Amino acid sequence: MATAAKRATDAAAKATEAAEATKAGAAEVATAGKRALSQAITATEKRADERASAAEDARAARIDKQLAAAARLDDRTMWVGLGHGLAAVATVGVTLAGFWMTLAFAVWGWRWAMNAEGWARGLTFVGLIAATAGIVIACYHSWSWLAPRVQVAIDAYDKRNRKK
């Protein structure tokens, strides 16, 4: 009997040691699991932050490109309006100078025609009537060409200065 009791005691001791070893192993597994889980969470957070940062950088780059394109378009609009404005000013100047020079020529021509005699007088009147008609037609065409360009310059100025 003593042998059976000793064997039972030895078996109980072995079972206790096995339970202690299992308990220690379980604690190590739990610690390792916690460590692995913590590392996985940290890595996932890092990757998520990197992705969010990359997405934010890409979004910022797209916005910068759009702003640059809008600025280029705004500059182009300003230069187009300025070009039309300068063309309008130059055209107005040339048109007015031409009008006054032609008017002065017509006045001089009409005075000369009044002093002419014979067939020269009739021919001069015909030429002066044609020249006067040419002046009127040239003024009309100059104005019809100039008016839309002045309007484009005004619209570009208003758009540039946000007026409606």
Q: Decide: 131 and 77 in contact? Cβ < 8 Å.
A: no
Tell me the pLDDT band of 114, cut-offs 50, 70 and 90: confident
- Report pLDDT for 163: 63
pLDDT in tens, 14-52: 878 777 778 777 778 788 888 888 888 888 888 888 888
- Report pLDDT for 46: 86
Is 1 or 120 the better-scoring residue by pLDDT? 120
- In 3D space, the residue among 84, 83, 98 whose CA is nearest the CA of residue 148 turns out to be 84
pLDDT in tens, 53-99: 888 888 888 888 888 887 777 667 667 777 777 777 787 787 778 77
36: tokens are 């692995």
The pLDDT of residue 164 is above 60: no
- Report pLDDT for 118: 77
- Report pLDDT for 51: 84
- Report pLDDT for 138: 79
- 115 class by beta-carbon count within 10 Å (0-12 exposed, 13-18 middle, 19+ buried): exposed
The pLDDT of residue 144 is above 60: yes
Rounded to two decimals, what is the model's pTM?
0.36
Q: Is 5 in a helix, a strand, or coil?
A: helix
Q: Decide: 138 and 126 in contact? Cβ < 8 Å.
A: no
